Amino acid sequence: MAKTNNKIDRRLRDLVRRHGTPMLAISRAVLRAQLERFRKALPRVEPFYAMKANPCAAVLKTLAQAGAGFDVASLAEMEAALAAGAPPERLIFANTIKPARAISAAAARGISLMTFDSEYELDKIAERSPGARVIVRIKVPNVGSIVELSLKFGVDPADAISLLIKAHKLGLRPAGVSFHVGSQCTRVENYIEALETAAIIVRDARLKQVPCGIVDIGGGFPIRHFDDEDDPFDPAAGVIAREIDRLFDANVRLIAEPGRFIAGPAGTLVMRVVGKAIRENKHWYYLDDGVYGALSGIVFDHAKYQFKVARNGRTQLSTLAGPTCDSLDIIARGEELPELELGDIVYAENAGAYSLASATNFNGLEPAKAVLVP
């Protein structure tokens, strides 16, 4: 038998009455709590929120008011972070491949800290933002991470010092080293190996009198999506914090780029059943959002969600599908659900990251409405 949380159901029904569906309800309190949880678990690490996870203006404003920094990857993200109230010194332009126009715009706005991973990028930065502070991104193991990023980004660690020296010769200011262990990383060994590699580069840079005072440990901090999972963050954060203290003295500044960890738990995607059929000897329920909308993370982020309903009853294997005319738009097969009726609510918690950020208007269907709640 499926069981529902009556308190949550009443809150969601009230939001649906006021705002309709599909809707992404984003909790301001959870955003703040996740930010403080990160700071408490990793006290030496300054969080620079990765805007690509969820760029909603209300999310950015909430985090800016709480003193977070921002990892921006484009001119549009840069302008949105500044509009939310973040000062230029709390922004890092952390896309290693930047259009020349965006580099110029960053310089004009006083944003001087940025990453790179090739000589070609250094040449662009030197031309468009003379004197900028630059961080070399290195390639590190992404084993076991849901989304591997080292295939596309990062230089071999052995080349990091040479590139920082090249940056100095071009009139730029070498500032440090960065890495990313991959998205939704549950293998803490990735962080340990990456931190040890970064520490070797920092020590080598000091011997060569190359400034390298910042270590950016990237993002990838995991969250749980299912009620029966253990929360993966706290055990990993404890190991990371100890490794940071072991490897880096107080003169090294540590920053990170959490995105999913901050925004994911703050968002609940609320949908309604708009169609119903019997196919493959199972109930099929067609929802008013799907993989072309706020469930786009299923495709682009390899995300899996726990779907819940505001109805009790005996469960049966069911399929959830989205509202578009594409057969790709199947959300989940084999879901244990009670029989649903048209208009019934289906929702997924921990859906605040990589959902609206990659949603489309395919078939002319509007993405879910973002609603900020206390």
Task: Calculate mean pLDDT across residues 20-41.
Answer: 98
Task: Calculate mean pLDDT across residues 243-264.
Answer: 97
Which residue out of 56, 185, 212, 325 is catalytically annotated?
A: 325
The pLDDT confidence band at residue 145, using thresholds 50, 70 and 90, is very low
φ, ψ of residue 72 to 5 degrees: the values are -110, 145
User: Would the CATH topology of 6-25+267-373 be identical to that of 28-264?
Assistant: no
Is the Cβ–Cβ distance between 141 and 181 less than 8 Å?
yes
Question: Any idea where the domains of the chain sit in the sequence?
Answer: 6-25+267-373, 28-264
Check pLDDT > 50 for residue 1: no
Q: Give the pLDDT of residue 218.
A: 94
| Bridging pattern class, strands 45-50 and 345-348 | unpaired
Is the Cβ–Cβ distance between 190 and 182 less than 8 Å?
yes
Which CATH topology does 6-25+267-373 take? Lyase, Ornithine Decarboxylase; Chain A, domain 1 (2.40.37)
Task: Calculate mean pLDDT across residues 150-158.
Answer: 81
CATH code for the domain defined by 28-264: 3.20.20.10
Separation of alpha carbons 221 and 17, rounded Å: 35
More confident: 121 or 8: 121
Separation of alpha carbons 101 and 112, rounded Å: 14
The tens digit of pLDDT for each residue in 89-107 reads: 999 999 999 999 999 999 9
The tens digit of pLDDT for each residue in 337-358 reads: 999 999 999 999 999 999 999 9
Q: Give the pLDDT of residue 10.
A: 87
Residue 325 is a catalytic residue: yes
297: Cα within 13 Å, side-chain hemisphere: 25
